[in-house]
A and B are shown apart, each in its own frame.
Chain A
């Protein structure tokens, strides 16, 4: 990580600490914002957060590793999550997965070489009545067909 990146990240974290406070219960809110802004939480960010909250870096890492929507490793700018739980599975989620994989030229769990997309599976999105469903970042898309799924990818990038 470059020095100026570190400085700006440190500043960003300081602002978040100011916003949420430096108690342990602020941890998840802070991590969520860093995750939203950078699509992952770097080791440097984790140590900075730990320092402000007076906890150990491994505690931050441990918490991040617990929650499916938080990452320690870099991801694409847009995270596509396809629901794999039973109702979506029964609505042929595999055809959606295949279409998205084909379109982006990567497999589930991978990131495109231009860093635009990462595709993942997710557990139940709570859209079982409107499956198959997927989320791109925090937006959700329902009643997908292979075609609409792919169109949505392009819509998000604009």
Chain B
């Protein structure tokens, strides 16, 4: 399954030799690594954008008999597949990132939680781990560093979108339903098996070896003030070249559309089903924490697409994928989907749709985890940004009415 490296990028898709990152890291002290990461201002790439150094420093400071590094490879967000590319084509970055994290935090155990849909990648990953063990990049006294032991095992998921939420992922690892935990305590304090656990995204960990090699200040040169480095974008939908691209943070939507050969674009969904839908009038906006933050899912819709149908697809997704434990998410998503169907069947009132938008806001603040907190985003943004099309049929009767 391993493909030849044909990709080009400034950081992740640049040249890299197996072992470089770990070798360099082991010449540094744990503190040096933490400060290097701090200097880089690296933020979590899964979507939430939590500063990696803060998480790691808490992990390093925690006193416990065991600590865990978990790589979250449960990318389930519709329109996201960048982690697949990293796992297939750049596994050394992912795994070395975990080793370095283990070294910095003081953990000996790494787990890669691989989504069930990616089972076909498992074998090649396991082979790669075996190779790393042979090279002494894993195992006991790594690269001769006395007392530094670290190994990684792969845990396969069984298809549940919500397991991408870190506490749900840990519940799943422990053999439970993937239901998000109450926080606090955060995993970095009480995580897998009650031990301090750092859960990081595949892409986040993949940045680490490059930061260690070239320094946090080098990394910071890319991107913007608050969004340093580059970002992988999973591009799909109506364009000529759907693929994974590495671009610097701060790129505008228009620039992206240009690069991937998108024509007659009406709307861009940023951040997958849980993200927001941007209309043409806002294509000059930037992808960055300063403007539109994202985990990198970009779905392009051209002028022939029916926005209501798209919204329905999203809401059906959430109704199924909600873990079902908390009220706002479980029932709220059902109500939003009902609302979409009402519009479809022209059985709505604007007063009721306003109630649903208001409900969406409640879901955003009162749901137990990120799933329910973000699932109303599309509903709110599509109904707001495309109301002319949806309610006045301006766009050539796109809804078939």
A71 to chain B, nearest CB (A): 10
Whether B177 pairs with A90 at a CB distance below 8 angstroms is no
- Per-residue contact bits, chain B 70-95, to A (CB 8 Å; 1 contact, 0 not): 00000111111101100000000000
Whether A122 pairs with B177 at a CB distance below 8 angstroms is no
A135 to chain B, nearest CB (A): 7
A66 contact set on B, CB distance < 8 A:
160, 177-178, 323
B158 contact set on A, CB distance < 8 A:
28, 31-32, 35, 67-70
Known A87-B299, A124-B77, A124-B117; further 18 A-B contacts with Cβ < 8 A: A24-B175, A24-B176, A27-B175, A29-B156, A68-B116, A69-B158, A84-B313, A86-B310, A86-B313, A87-B236, A87-B237, A122-B117, A123-B161, A124-B76, A124-B80, A124-B317, A126-B117, A129-B234
Considering the complex, which residues of chain B in the window 156-172 have a beta carbon less than 8 Å from any beta carbon of chain A?
Answer: 156-161, 172
A108 within 8 A of B: no
- Per-residue contact bits, chain A 114-136, to B (CB 8 Å; 1 contact, 0 not): 00000000111111111100010
Considering the complex, which residues of chain A in the window 35-93 have a beta carbon less than 8 Å from any beta carbon of chain B?
Answer: 35, 53, 62-63, 66-70, 84-87, 89-90
- Per-residue contact bits, chain B 345-367, to A (CB 8 Å; 1 contact, 0 not): 00000000000000000000000
B159 contact set on A, CB distance < 8 A:
67-69, 122-123
B235 within 8 A of A: yes
CA–CA, A139 and B119, complex, Å: 8
Interface residues of B, Cβ cutoff 8 Å to A: 75-81, 83-84, 115-120, 155-161, 172-178, 193, 234-238, 242-244, 269, 273, 299, 301, 305, 310, 313-314, 317, 320-321, 323
Whether A138 pairs with B119 at a CB distance below 8 angstroms is yes
Interface residues of A, Cβ cutoff 8 Å to B: 23-29, 31-32, 35, 53, 62-63, 66-70, 84-87, 89-90, 122-131, 135, 138-140
CA–CA, A86 and B269, complex, Å: 11
A87 contact set on B, CB distance < 8 A:
78-79, 236-237, 242, 299
A25 to chain B, nearest CB (A): 5
A63 is contacted by which of B176, B320, B321 (Cβ under 8 Å)?
A: B176
Whether A124 pairs with B313 at a CB distance below 8 angstroms is no
